[in-house]
């Protein structure tokens, strides 16, 4: 594609999702009017695709100067990146399938703008700031973190006294994880798997690694598509919940023998390793929808394989003693590296939280540490979303509030 065609294609994608992100659109209108980010510089490392572009535009329209790069080498869409680079006050450095060095160079370029606010998905910017670019930290008012594992990383830093700036845990907003991690990952993981393999899910045995918010969504949608679902867990309560939701539950060493399709959603390392690959069926499909490329141990699979070949776009076939094990998207997030990511209506809420939290950081002096999304912002996003869906709900009457708050007439 020529540069002009790339830009046109990116613009078209951004235009489409913008029309399906009503909450972010309202925030965008308010930002345009009030200019809450005037004079601020926002550095971002997020999946560079159309919904993210709608967030970037919102921040720039609100007065910020924005520099962005990717947070995963395989999730960048070059047409969206090209379109973003045509906008005023926006620089985008993300490139699809860049090598490790290029990936980290782009993070440096984003930080070169000397931001006072950061937005991360996986904490790469904040990690770089705390290791190689510590001199910049005093100028930083705060950061936002998009995902579960990023927040684990930041909380671990905080516990060690290593976190030197405030960060808002955007993932932990109710209007984020309840919808993005569950319904978003549930739908987009299967979209990625189905469009990449062109195979049927009905009648297959699907193994979901981890029954957190992402795992619940992926398991629920696999059931809906007609699969027999097995869940693996390390947490007894979540394992029980999976069983009561109607799924089979067993250890991965056992599940490995039965699965046709595996989807890891744990945020942990080594969920699938040599001992699992050894007993898998011929034709097994492996996908990760959790974090980075560490949930499926590809080093061990590579060492076991007699041959490795690309058999379809985004599918690598590892031939292990005559059995074919197919890995999608190099074990990176299947919904983004082999699909278009979450649906726009879901990212509408996630990114409304991001935009409001950036404004909150610009307007308040926060202490170093991990902060929750203020409850009123979370509720505001829910209320706007309901309104955009044409849904009205009841309001408590004063005597009902009194009843709920009292103890005298509780029985
Ligand atoms: N693909 C996406 O677009 C997307 C969206 C949201 C979150 N994420 C990422 O997905 C991961 C999970 O997020 P979440 O919000 O569901 O987290 P979560 O904490 O709610 O769930 C993770 C679950 O995995 C379980 N687990 C941990 N180690 C395990 C192991 N070895 N075997 C089996 N189960 C194990 C935990 O007990 C927990 O129940 C995170 O890395 C997050 O950053 C991805
Ligand atoms: N950067 C790491 C961390 C996991 S990304 C998981 C996050 O991606 C976000 N996400 C999912 N789909 C989209 C999308 O289409 N656009 C932008 N972000 C998305 C989602 O909010 C979730 O918290 C990695 O690439 O492995």
The string of DSSP codes covering 155-219 is HHHHHTT---SEEEEGGGSHHHIIIIIIIIHHHHHHHHHHHHH----TT-EEEEE--SHHHHHHH
State mean pLDDT over 242-248.
98
Is the confidence at residue 184, as pLDDT, over 60?
yes
> How does the average pLDDT of the chain come out, rounded?
97
Q: Is 142 in the pocket of ligand 2 (CB under 6 A)?
A: no
Question: What is the Å distance from ligand 2's center to 210 Cα?
Answer: 17
Residue 34: count of CB within 10 angstroms of its CB: 12
DSSP labels for 94-126? --TT--HHHHHHHHHHHHHT--SEEEESSSHHH
Pocket of ligand 1 (CB under 6 A): 147-149, 177, 180-181, 185, 209-215, 232-235, 238, 265-268, 271, 289-291, 333, 335
Question: What is the Å distance from ligand 2's center to 400 Cα?
Answer: 41
Structure tokens at 89: 């006050």
Structure tokens at 258: 């039965």
- What is d(CA 49, CA 59) in angstroms, rounded to the nearest whole number? 16
Q: Is 221 in the pocket of ligand 2 (CB under 6 A)?
A: no
Q: Is 146 in the pocket of ligand 2 (CB under 6 A)?
A: yes
At 273-310, the pLDDT tens digits run 999 999 999 999 999 999 899 999 999 999 999 999 99
Helix (H) or strand (E) holding 281: none
Residues facing 248 on adjacent strands: 230
At 99-145, the pLDDT tens digits run 889 999 999 999 999 999 999 999 999 999 999 999 999 999 999 99
Residue 20, CB-side half-sphere exposure with 13 Å CA sphere? 14
**406: Cβ–Cβ under 8 A, 6 or more apart, which residues?**
none
State mean pLDDT over 352-368.
98
What ipTM does the predicted assembly reach?
A: 0.99
Question: Residues 336, 48: contact at Cβ < 8 Å?
Answer: no
| Burial 104-114, CB ≥16 within 10 A → b, else e | eebbeebbeee
Atom of ligand 1 nearest to the CA of 334: 1
Residues facing 41 on adjacent strands: 65
Q: Is 378 in the pocket of ligand 2 (CB under 6 A)?
A: no
- pTM: predicted TM-score of the whole model, two decimal places: 0.97
Q: Which pLDDT does position 100 carry in this prediction? A: 87
Q: In this structure, which residue's CA is closest to atom 5 in ligand 1? A: 181
- Would you place residue 411 in the very low, low, confident or very high pLDDT band (cuts 50, 70, 90)? low
Question: Residues 154, 126: contact at Cβ < 8 Å?
Answer: yes
- What is d(CA 179, CA 175) in angstroms, rounded to the nearest whole number? 6
Q: Which pLDDT does position 139 carry in this prediction? A: 96
Structure tokens at 186: 């549930």
Within its chain, how far is the Cα of 292 from the centroid? Answer: 11
Atom of ligand 1 nearest to the CA of 291: 41
- Would you place residue 409 in the very low, low, confident or very high pLDDT band (cuts 50, 70, 90)? confident
**Helical H runs in 225-282?**
236-244, 252-258, 274-277
- What is d(CA 411, CA 404) in angstroms, rounded to the nearest whole number? 11
Binding residues for NAD(+): 147-149, 181, 210-215, 233, 268, 289-291, 335
Q: Which pLDDT does position 410 carry in this prediction? A: 60
Question: What is the Å distance from ligand 2's center to 267 Cα?
Answer: 12
Proximal ligand: closest to the CA of 344 = 2
Q: In this structure, which residue's CA is closest to atom 7 in ligand 1? A: 181
Question: What is the Å distance from ligand 2's center to 228 Cα?
Answer: 27
**329: Cβ–Cβ under 8 A, 6 or more apart, which residues?**
74, 192, 196, 287, 288, 314, 337, 338
């Amino acid at each position: 594609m020529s540069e002009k065609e790339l830009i046109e294609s990116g613009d078209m994608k951004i235009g489409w999702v913008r029309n399906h992100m009503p909450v972010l659109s309202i925030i965008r209108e308010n930002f345009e009017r009030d200019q809450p980010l005037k004079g601020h510089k926002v550095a971002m490392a997020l999946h560079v695709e159309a919904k993210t572009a709608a967030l970037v535009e919102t921040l720039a329209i609100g007065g910020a100067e924005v520099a962005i790069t990717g947070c995963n080498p395989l999730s960048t869409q070059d047409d969206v990146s090209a379109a973003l680079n045509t906008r005023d006050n926006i620089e985008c450095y993300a490139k699809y399938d860049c090598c490790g060095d290029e990936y980290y160079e782009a993070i440096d370029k984003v930080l070169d703008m000397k931001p006072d606010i950061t937005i991360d998905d996986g904490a790469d910017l904040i990690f770089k700031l705390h290791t190689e670019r510590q001199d910049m930290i005093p100028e930083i008012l705060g950061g936002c973190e998009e995902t579960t594992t990023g927040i684990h990383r930041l909380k671990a830093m905080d516990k060690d006294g290593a976190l030197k700036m405030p960060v808002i845990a955007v993932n932990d907003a109710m209007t984020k994880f309840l919808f993005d991690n569950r319904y978003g990952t549930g739908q987009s993981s299967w979209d990625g798997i189905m469009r990449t393999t062109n195979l049927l899910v009905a009648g297959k045995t699907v193994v979901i690694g981890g029954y957190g918010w992402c795992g619940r969504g992926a398991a629920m949608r696999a059931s809906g598509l007609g699969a027999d679902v097995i869940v693996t867990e390390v947490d007894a309560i979540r394992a029980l919940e999976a069983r009561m939701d109607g799924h089979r539950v067993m250890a991965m060493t056992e599940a490995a023998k039965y699965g046709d399709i595996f989807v890891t959603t744990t945020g942990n390392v080594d969920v699938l390793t040599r001992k699992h690959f050894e007993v898998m069926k011929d034709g097994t499909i492996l996908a990760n929808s959790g974090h980075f490329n560490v949930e499926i141990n590809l080093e061990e699979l590579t060492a076991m394989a007699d041959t490795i070949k690309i058999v379809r776009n985004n599918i690598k076939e590892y031939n292990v003693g005559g059995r074919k094990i197919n890995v999608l998207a190099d074990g990176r997030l299947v919904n983004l590296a082999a699909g278009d990511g979450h649906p726009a209506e879901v990212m509408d809420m996630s990114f409304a939280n991001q935009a409001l939290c950036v404004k909150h950081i610009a307007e308040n002096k926060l202490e170093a540490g991990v902060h929750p999304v203020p409850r009123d912002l979370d509720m505001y996003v829910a209320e706007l979303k309901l309104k955009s869906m044409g849904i009205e709900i009841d309001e408590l009457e004063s005597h009902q509030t009194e009843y709920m708050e009292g103890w005298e007439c509780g029985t």
